[in-house]
């Protein structure tokens, strides 16, 4: 996060963290979207974490049971699912950045385990 609401908003601080801790792998998270990947990699981030979620379509019918949901009715209830299109866009963004350089500042992101959608 870099002290901000999203990793992209905290980009400068994240870059300072990377520079202050050579050899430590920094993973950026919090509101990361596919268009953010290249800028995060450019400041030395070695990995990204994103939820890649979207609101799931409502399945109405039968009796509504909240099961801990924040909604107060079936119409207000929602849950989230992983969006395959966002995952594919994030994967493409990571691939476009390329692998990390050896030693010194990183020019890319580690693959394959470092693109970590939060299922």
- The per-residue pLDDT for 40 is 93
Torsion angle (degrees, nearest 10) of CA 39, 15, 94, 106: 120
- The per-residue pLDDT for 92 is 92
Strand partners, 59: none
- The per-residue pLDDT for 111 is 41
pLDDT beneath 70, residues of the chain: 1, 58-78, 100-119
Whether residue 48 contacts residue 27, with contact meaning beta carbons closer than 8 Å, is answered with yes
**How large is the greatest C-alpha to C-alpha distance in the chain, in angstroms?**
59
Who contacts 72 (Cβ-Cβ below 8 Å, separation ≥6)?
A: none
Handedness of CA 96, 51, 32, 26 (dihedral sign): negative
- The per-residue pLDDT for 59 is 63
Fold classified for 11-57+66-117: TIM Barrel (3.20.20)
Q: Structural domain boundaries of the chain?
A: 11-57+66-117
Task: Say what the pTM is.
Answer: 0.70
């Amino acid at each position: 996060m870099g002290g901000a609401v999203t990793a992209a908003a905290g980009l400068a601080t994240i870059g300072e963290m990377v520079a202050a801790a050579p050899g430590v792998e920094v993973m950026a998270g919090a509101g990361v979207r596919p268009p953010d990947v290249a800028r995060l990699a450019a400041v030395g981030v070695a990995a990204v974490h994103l939820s890649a979620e979207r609101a799931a379509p409502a399945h109405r019918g039968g009796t509504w049971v909240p099961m801990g949901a924040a909604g107060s009715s079936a119409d207000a209830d929602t849950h989230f699912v992983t969006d395959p299109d966002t995952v594919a866009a994030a994967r493409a963004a990571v691939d476009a950045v390329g692998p990390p350089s050896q030693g010194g500042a990183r020019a890319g992101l580690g693959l394959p385990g470092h693109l970590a959608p939060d299922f």
